[in-house]
């Protein structure tokens, strides 16, 4: 449906009406659905005596009420920054999804969550076979370093790309082996898991066909990092803190490149040489 263009009304109210109208009756698959907050508390100017209109409310003003950015008027709000307002909107959308008789059908989901409960509650109302791209951002990044268990994604068998920002992933990399492309920071990884991920790119969707053609798996702990040299053999390049292997991909002119940055990350990418 079309979004309402009503001057003189609060953007939040207009937004909620539009979401109820669109999500309350939607049955076909959405190509994209964003529930995303670009501002965290580190963006807030503490020195300001009068807080400016928060970023999330600005977005609602521009999108729902069709106000031009150069002429936008600061409306009064009980929210001095985006985070509380965003959480209110998130909760409202959850209530809509809970009231539906069928799960949300969406291909790409881009969300900001404040932790485990918000993520799991939302995913319960998303059709697992439809979701192919999932992007998760930490809404409380500035003040809270959250951990996130992603075992629930075992049920999302068609997920191609997973990007997680500003969370520490406690799930094992092995438990997410059905997802071809993963970008995020893990609490712990093992050499066997990295080997399995290499094999994933040989057997399933080639990295060259993924939405993300290069991705990095960061980690806090990699206790058997030395075993990569046993499992992968002689590296293509080896420097003080970085080692690179290149592997021929069957029936392809391309090579899979795996780069280990000691005590930091493992990167997967494609190369033509």
**What would the mean pLDDT of 199-207 be, rounded to a whole number?**
71
pLDDT at 179: 92
- What pLDDT digit, counting tens, does each position of 45-85 carry? 443 443 444 445 555 544 444 444 444 444 444 444 566 77
268 against 21, higher pLDDT: 268
- What pLDDT digit, counting tens, does each position of 225-251 carry? 999 999 999 999 999 899 999 998 877
Question: Which residues touch 269 (CB under 8 Å, ≥6 apart)?
Answer: 207, 213, 214, 215, 256, 257, 259
| Contact (CB, 8 A) for 109 and 121 | no
- Contacts by residues 163-172 (CB-CB < 8 Å, ≥ 24 positions apart): 163/134, 163/135, 163/136, 163/212, 163/215, 164/135, 164/136, 165/135, 165/136, 165/137, 165/138, 165/141, 166/137, 166/138, 166/141, 167/136, 167/138, 168/220
pLDDT at 34: 87
Q: Tell me the pLDDT band of 202, cut-offs 50, 70 and 90.
A: confident
Question: Which residues touch 163 (CB under 8 Å, ≥6 apart)?
Answer: 134, 135, 136, 182, 183, 184, 212, 215
pLDDT at 206: 57
Kindly compute the dihedral angle of the four CA atoms of residues 172, 177, 180, 184, in this order, to the nearest 10 degrees. 0
Q: Which residue(s) pair with 266 in the sheet?
A: 217, 260
**pLDDT, mean over the chain:** 79
Residue 86: pLDDT above 60? yes
Q: Is the dihedral of CA 194, 199, 204, 207 positive or negative?
A: positive
pLDDT at 11: 67
**Single pTM value for the model:** 0.80
- What pLDDT digit, counting tens, does each position of 132-173 carry? 999 999 877 555 568 999 999 999 999 999 999 999 999 999
pLDDT at 267: 95
Residue 223: pLDDT above 90? yes
pLDDT at 47: 39
248 against 203, higher pLDDT: 248
pLDDT at 26: 82
| Contact (CB, 8 A) for 258 and 268 | yes
**What would the mean pLDDT of 205-215 be, rounded to a whole number?**
63
Q: Which token pair is 246?
A: 């290149």
7 against 104, higher pLDDT: 104
Q: Tell me the pLDDT band of 126, cut-offs 50, 70 and 90.
A: very high
Q: What are phi and psi of 119, to 5 degrees?
A: -65, -50
Residue appearing with tokens 């031009």: 68
Pairing of strands 147-148, 30-35: unpaired
- What pLDDT digit, counting tens, does each position of 21-50 carry? 888 888 889 999 988 776 544 443 443 443
pLDDT at 64: 43
16 against 259, higher pLDDT: 259
């Amino acid at each position: 449906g079309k979004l309402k263009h009503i001057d003189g009304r609060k953007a939040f109210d207009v937004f909620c009406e539009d979401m109820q109208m669109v999500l309350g009756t939607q049955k076909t698959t959405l190509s994209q659905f964003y529930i995303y907050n670009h501002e965290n508390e580190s963006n807030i100017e503490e020195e300001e005596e009068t807080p400016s209109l928060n970023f999330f409310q600005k977005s609602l003003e521009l999108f729902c009420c069709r106000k031009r950015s150069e002429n936008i008027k600061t409306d009064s709000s009980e929210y001095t920054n985006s985070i509380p307002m965003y959480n209110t909107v998130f909760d409202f959308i959850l209530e809509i999804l809970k009231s539906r008789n069928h799960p949300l059908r969406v291909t790409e989901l881009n969300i900001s969550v404040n932790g485990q409960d918000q993520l799991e509650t939302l995913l319960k109302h998303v059709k697992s076979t439809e979701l192919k791209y999932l992007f998760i951002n930490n809404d409380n990044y500035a003040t809270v370093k959250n951990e996130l268990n992603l075992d629930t994604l075992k049920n999302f068998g068609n997920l191609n790309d997973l990007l997680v920002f500003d969370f520490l992933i406690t799930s094992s990399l092995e438990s997410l082996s059905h997802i071809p492309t993963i970008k995020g920071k893990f609490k712990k990884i093992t050499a066997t898991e990295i080997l399995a991920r290499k094999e994933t790119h040989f057997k399933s969707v080639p990295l060259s066909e993924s939405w993300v053609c290069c991705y990095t798996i960061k980690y806090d702990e990699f206790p058997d990092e030395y075993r990569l040299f046993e499992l992968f053999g002689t590296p293509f390049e080896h420097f003080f803190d970085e080692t690179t292997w290149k592997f021929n991909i069957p029936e392809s002119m391309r090579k899979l490149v795996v780069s280990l940055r000691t005590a930091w990350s493992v990167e997967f990418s494609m190369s033509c040489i």
